[in-house]
Amino acid sequence: MKLYNTLTRTKEAVTPITPQHVSLYTCGPTVYHYYHIGNLRNAVFNDTLKRVLLAEDNHIHHVMNITDVGHLTGDTDHGNDKLQERAAKEGKDVWEVAQYYTETFFNDMNRLNVLEPTRYVKATETIEQQIAMILELINTGFAYQTEEAIYFDTTKLKDYGKLSGQNLKEKQVGVRAEVVTDPDKRHPQDFALWFFTVGRFEDHAMRWESPWGEGFPGWHLECSAIIEAEFGDTIDIHTGGVDHIGTHHTNEIAQSEASHNGAPLAHYWMHIEFLLVDGHKMSKSLENTYTLNEVTARGYDPMALRLLYLQSHYRTQQNFTWDALDAATNYLHRLQAWADGQFQAGAGTLSDDSFHDFCRDILAKLSDDLNTPEAMVIMSQLLDDFESNLVMPTAEQVGQIDALFGLGLSKRLNITPEQEAIILEREGARQAKDYELSDHARSLLKDQGIELDDTPSGPRWYRRPQTS
Ligand code: AMP
Ligand code: ZN
């Protein structure tokens, strides 16, 4: 398998540290809001990566964090804690906010057929490990303390910023434009490992004892501490959105590599580009930050959204429009009609040999840096073949396609024995030219959402697509 590595800026063949065992870490949700369709694109991207690794016979150890403390409204230490702000707005306490949005996140993942990670780890469950990492960084001279916080000293690390390719000077210019509140911070691009509950954080609700006084961890630290606890120094693949390259992942690398004598944090760094809506950045003021609930309330199947994501490559921006979701819905219906073919006895089935060729070609596209749009083109050829020659898939073949795309095609139910009897009865009436009876049977089935096509190899049924 080949993947584009942000760190080396090239497409590279993936060689896991332990052959056929991939360690994967993904920066998960900050649980202060409903996931929007941009975040969901990120979730489906990670899921597709896993499905392709699995198809290539790898075991996957996948860990995802849940950020329930420390993520400030600005990624670079300015602003307030996102959860605390939300709690104040909703009149709840921070723990309730975290629990509520964690649950809605799990719910969305289920509805989008996203495979569960091996483990979810909450930032608040790993405070001890985070404190231990800070101690290590202080002892080795990478961290210093002020009255407000403990900071990572970015000038102590030779290759700080290597992920984005930005050098320290460029980074300093970027950060300086933001509000720096602590006069004792040595360099503008230094970042907090631990905030004390003083000054603007005097009322911070989530707080823990530490060797240096009460406070709470900075956002970047949780990922470094979780990776160390779950995997050790180095993992194979680390993923996240492109917005994480310059600050969050850069700082994860700094903390982990400084703590581990320069051992690389991850061999492959993958970043997904943003989803736009109607050509615009998603933002609250444009009211275009749609949630999955809003999408389904308009009558769309979550699988249509999943399919829409697969139609673009993760390294390009994708533009969401409702028209594009309509088109994805039509494509989904074609796929579902194909999958329903698995239940139709007697029709010609797709030979395992030719299916194997299709699958091999699809997997070849997916293994080439997750080229999902081209994989979908090959899938279309399979559908064309089905639609023009009526070659039905077997249940196993549908299962294989499902394993790759996660579109829930296997989950579709067979028709009931009663419906099957009506189809047979209607076919008898049709052959006896009893059109009244045959039309009656057809409309009976139609009421139950089943349509019929009379084909040279006999009647073929399919479920009428649900219209939005
Ligand atoms: P958050 O819960 O805000 O920390 O975001 C979760 C993930 O969604 C992060 O990895 C972001 O990079 C990613 N993300 C945020 N906005 C978008 C977007 N418009 N398109 C794609 N991914 C996004
Ligand atoms: Zn992270």
Summarize pLDDT for 140-168 with one digit per residue, the tens.
Answer: 999 999 999 999 999 999 999 999 987 76
- Closest Cα to atom 2 of ligand 1: 29
Region of residue 387 (phi > 0: left; psi between -120 and 50: alpha; otherwise: beta): alpha
Structure confidence by residue, pLDDT tens digits, 364-384: 999 999 999 999 999 999 999
Lookup: tokens for 365: 């596209």
User: Parallel, antiparallel, or unpaired for β 149-152 and 143-145?
Assistant: antiparallel
Helix axes 94-111, 37-55, angle to 10 degrees: 50
The answer to whether the CB of 112 falls within 8 A of the CB of 301 is no
Is a pLDDT exceeding 80 seen at residue 467?
Answer: no
- Average confidence (pLDDT) over 353-357: 90
Is pLDDT at 179 greater than 70 in this prediction? no
Residue 221 CA to ligand 2 center (angstroms) comes to: 8
| Ligand 1 atom having least distance to the Cα of 275 | 20
Label residue 174 by pLDDT band (50, 70, 90).
low
> Which atom belonging to ligand 1 lies closest to the Cα atom of 32?
2
Q: How far from 134 is each of 7, 124, 141, 201, 300, CA to CA, in Å?
A: 25, 16, 10, 19, 47
Which-ligand-closest: CA of 64? 2
Place 177 in a pLDDT band, splitting at 50, 70 and 90: low
- d(CA 252, ligand 2 centre) in Å: 7
Q: Which tens digit of pLDDT belongs to each residue from 390-420?
A: 788 888 999 999 999 999 998 888 889 999 9
Burial of 288 (0-12, 13-18, 19+ CB in 10 A): middle
Mutation to probe ligand 1, out of 34, 36, 39 (largest number of atoms < 8 A from CB): 39
| pLDDT mean across residues, the chain | 92
Higher-pLDDT residue of 93, 180 = 93
What is the pLDDT, as a whole number, of residue 387? 82
Name every protein residue with a CB atom under 6 angstroms from any ligand 1 atom: 27, 29-30, 38-39, 41-42, 240-241, 243-244, 272, 274-275, 282
Q: In this predicted structure, what is the pLDDT of residue 287?
A: 84
468 confidence band (pLDDT: 50, 70, 90):
very low
Quote the ligand 2 centre to 204 CA distance (angstroms). 22
How confident is the model over 312-333, as a mean pLDDT? 97
At residue 210, the pLDDT reads 96
Strands, E assignment, 314-379? 318-320
DSSP state of 432: T
Atom number, ligand 1, closest to the C-alpha of residue 241: 12
Question: How many Å lie between the centroid of ligand 1 and the Cα of residue 74?
Answer: 14
Q: Give every CB contact of residue 124 below 8 A, 6+ residues apart in sequence.
A: 68, 69, 98, 206
Q: Which helix (H) or strand (E) holds 262?
A: none
pLDDT on residue 178: 55
> Per-residue pLDDT tens for 188-242?
999 999 999 998 899 888 999 999 999 999 999 999 999 999 999 999 999 999 9
From the alpha carbon of 243, which atom of ligand 1 is closest? 12
Residue with more model confidence, 165 or 442: 442
Q: Copy the structure tokens of residue 112.
A: 């989008």
Which of the two residues, 182 and 117, has the higher pLDDT score?
Answer: 117
User: Please, which residues have CB within 8 angstroms of residue 183's CB and are 6 or more apart in sequence?
Assistant: none
Q: What is the pLDDT of residues 24-65, one digit of tens each?
A: 999 999 999 999 999 999 999 999 999 999 999 999 999 999
The most distant pair of C-alpha atoms in the chain lies apart, rounded to whole Å, by: 93
By C-alpha distance, which of 300, 275, 219 is closest to 252?
219
Q: Closest by alpha carbon to 105, among 43, 50, 62? A: 43
Rounded Cα distance, 47 and 127, in Å: 28
Is residue 357 classed as helix, strand or coil in its secondary structure? helix
Which tops the pLDDT comparison, 222 or 351? 222
Which residues fall within 8 angstroms of residue 353, CB to CB, at 6 or more apart? none
| Rounded Cα distance, 250 and 240, in Å | 12
- Over residues 243-265, the pLDDT tens digits come to 999 999 999 999 999 999 999 99
pLDDT score recorded for residue 156: 96
Tell me: pLDDT of 363 over 60: yes
Mutate to test the pocket of ligand 1, among 6, 31, 243 (most ligand atoms within 8 A of CB): 243
- pLDDT exceeds cutoff 90 at 385: no
Q: Which has the closest alpha carbon to 227: 264, 189, 192, 195?
A: 264
- The mean per-residue pLDDT over the stretch 331-336 comes to 94
